[in-house]
A = this chain, B = another copy of it.
Amino acid sequence: MTHATANKPAWTRKHLLSINELSAEEILYLLDTAESFKEVSTRSVKKVPALRGRVVVTAFFEDSTRTRMSFTLAAQRLSADILDFSAKISSTSKGESLRDTARNIEAMGVDIMVVRHSAAGAPQNLTEVVDCCIINAGDGQHSHPTQGLLDLFTIRERKGRIAGLNVAIVGDIAHSRVARSDLRGLVKLGANVTLVGPPTLVPRSFEQLGARVTSHFDEILPEMDVINMLRIQQERITSSVFPSIREYIRLFGMNAERLKRCKPDVLIMHPGPVNRGKELAADVADGPNSSILRQVTNGLAVRMATLFLCQQAAMA
């Protein structure tokens, strides 16, 4: 926790809405906090009392078992009380009623609401009507900040740094909140980001965010330190210019052959769940370059840090 100064606390946000809003210093402070929480997970009693008596509600208006489990386990490890609010989209997807729902949940004494919603901006929207902490667990194609932070954490853990690294993100960038969150965080921390995919899915406009854009995967392989493979959304691929998934995989899939052309210590990432044999070959996914399960493990630490820091800021 080396990034705080005597005069100003290093983290003052009670909400985490996107990586865009964070400074490089804030990101690093959160990663450092996550590192100290990761140690907790190695103990025999994997709990700290940091959020004892606090109430965390997971409000997932869009399904995501894995992310919800990760937040739940993170909250349990901080000794919080946790409750899941599984909403039927029908009754809550419209603006006013989502706000009503959130205000009702908050009135039950909730301290932190972890929100996933298909509408970009929904978590931000809720901060206008509730006082409790809002953590964005994915909103439309906009942002998925804890995924971005756990990817940064994993890269730093494996590579020792982020600044100066060459990082590729491969796939359907245009529709991916993971890609957006990773890109923002990586650029802030000084990595060189290359976005790879067919032009329909990786528009040139992303260059304005500080990335290089290319559709020639094979050309950039040798120079990459990290390659993050996005999950194929089959319906999106086939509705683009591509004749078939098979053709897409031929151009943009990661496999043993392509891995040979990479640096020996290249880090292969994937936000999960993997379509084995499609964007990522099974042997690469399970091989020594892969960080897929480590990303899952680190997600817990990053989410513990997020819950803890936001709650601390809310009390300050």
User: A107: which of B100, B104, B293 is its contact (CB, 8 Å)?
Assistant: B293
Q: Is the CB of B65 within 8 A of A108?
A: no
Contacts of A65 in B (CB 8 A): 85-87
Partner of A100, one of B73, B105, B274: B274
Question: Would you list which residues of chain A between 46 and 104 have a CB under 8 Å from chain B?
Answer: 46-47, 52-55, 65-66, 69-70, 72-73, 76-77, 81, 83, 85-87, 96, 100-101, 103-104
* Docked complex Cα distance between A294 and B81 (Å): 22
Would you call A300 an interface residue if the criterion is a C-beta within 8 Å of the partner chain's C-beta atoms? yes
Q: Count residues on chain A whose CB falls below 8 Å from chain B CBs.
A: 45
Q: In the complex, what distance in Å separates the CA atom of A296 from the CA atom of B85? A: 16
Minimum CB–CB distance from A294 to chain B (whole Å) comes to 8
Residue from B73, B86, B100, B101 in contact with A109 in the complex, judged by beta carbons closer than 8 Å:
B73
Q: How far is the CB of A296 from chain B (nearest CB, A)?
A: 4
Copies in the assembly, this chain: 3
Contact A45 B53 (CB under 8 A): yes
Given contacts A109-B300, A296-B107, contact A73 B55 (CB under 8 A): yes
Tell me how far the C-beta of A37 lies from the nearest C-beta in chain B, rounded to whole angstroms: 11
Q: Is A260 an interface residue (CB 8 A)?
A: no
Which chain B residues lie closer than 8 Å to A83 at the CB level?
Answer: 69, 72-73, 76
24 residue pairs of the A-B complex, CB under 8 angstroms, read A44-B53, A46-B53, A46-B54, A46-B55, A47-B52, A55-B76, A65-B85, A65-B86, A65-B87, A69-B83, A69-B85, A73-B81, A76-B81, A76-B83, A77-B81, A77-B109, A100-B273, A100-B274, A100-B276, A103-B293, A104-B272, A104-B296, A107-B297, A108-B296
Q: Which 5 pairs of residues, A with B, have the shortest CB-CB distance?
A: A45-B53, A107-B296, A107-B293, A76-B81, A47-B53
